[in-house]
Amino acid sequence: MSYKIIKEGFIHQCPPENAEEIAITGRCAVTQGGQVLCSYMTESGLSRNDFVPNLAISSDAGESWQLRGQIWPHLRERYSINVSISRSADGTLFLFGSRTPRNKPGESFWSQETLGILQNELVWSRSEDDGQTWSDPRPISIPLPGAAESPAPLCPTLTGRWVAPYSPHNTFDPNLKVDLRHVVLMISDDQGKTWRHTSMIRVKEEDAYVAESWVTQLSTGVLLGTTWHLRRGKGDDFPNAYALSTDNGQSWGPTRATPILGQSAALAPLDDGKVLFVYNQRRHGTPGVWLALAKPTDRDFGVQVNEVVWRAAVATQNASSGKSTNWTDFAFGEPSVTVLPDHTALVAFWCIQPDGAGIRYVKLRLS
């Protein structure tokens, strides 16, 4: 398989007169009517605790976009909300992520001292009319100590089970002990009324932690989970990690390494047990967004293609290391990939580049 770029541009471009405003967490889903929705958050500045969820819509398979508007305008002064869109087989749309109370204008949700985020809670929402209306966010209690880093969407499986991952994160409390070395999978078998949890991925290195985790169901029915496998101290991060579940997320096989030294990543299933694995690259090879085609097994990740699909003019805003501890200086991030009905792939990601800031897209033909 190879990739051919059909078109690229902005889903949402931040106004140039407001140099600090950014947009992040671009995720896409196809409605029952064939339109493409993109959920994303606007923010007054990187690391500010004022995420506002928005939707954009495309009626031409992702080649042009119109703003639909804020999802919950009545909540923007109470909560900073960061959510990602997904769709079930019956056409129901979901938003899953986290919300954090807003305490004062201009506050940061990030503490460089603890390498932590403000305490938050998980939330989910549903739309049964192609995203025209949404239920208010419904909270999910975080089952373990720490905050939740949850950039992935909810994955409705073919049996009706809902699964959604998060990575436990330090908070502003330096005395709180948080298990940073595993990905937690939230599971609901009753349409979100109750939730339980299990560990999806666990890394073993003492100086390691996980972030930017994702889960999807392959065409074989197997669940695939991935995560950014980071090193807390000096030196390079570890290769992205993955694990498989053959019982709908109830239990997970051993955590294994992919051959890819990437950062934030996302997944989209294809036929024959294959998957698209999109990821950021800031430190190893051409800076930008890369797209791999893989066929994971319990032996290896099975990478068949691995190519850059968008080249960044700058990897960071001020020439920092590109490590996760310097994430507030990143110049792009959080890619996602969606397979469209016309057998193309739509890659979306946030960027702060010389030619503009916002949510960019690259549409690719797979051949």
DSSP code string of 90-123: TS-EEEEEEEEE--STT-BSEETTTTEE---EEE
H or E element in which residue 22 lies: strand 22-30
pLDDT by residue (tens digit) across 54-103? Answer: 999 999 999 999 999 999 999 999 999 999 999 999 999 999 999 999 99
CA–CA gap between residue 94 and residue 128 (Å, rounded): 9
pLDDT of residue 1: 79
Kindly state the DSSP code that residue 151 receives in the 8-state scheme: -
Task: Tally the domains of the chain.
Answer: 1
pLDDT of residue 206: 92
Closest CA to 219 of 295, 147, 272, 268: 272
Q: What is the CATH classification number for the domain harbouring 125?
A: 2.120.10.10
Q: What is the 3-state secondary structure (H, E, C) of 168-225?
A: EECCCCCCCCCCCCEEEEEEECCCCCCCEEEEEEECCCCCEEEEEEEEEECCCCCEEE
Query: What is the reported pLDDT for 233?
Result: 81
Residue pLDDT, tens place only, 154-188: 999 999 999 999 999 999 999 999 999 999 999 99
| Nearest in space to 126 (alpha carbons), one of 76, 165, 162, 77 | 162
Phi, psi of 328 (to 5 degrees): -70, -5
**What stretches in the chain show pLDDT beneath 50?**
none
Each residue of 343-363: pLDDT tens digit? 999 999 999 999 999 999 999
> Residues near 143 by Cβ (< 8 Å), separated by ≥ 6?
184, 186, 195, 196, 197
Residue range of the domain that includes 174: 3-366
pLDDT confidence of residue 56:
98
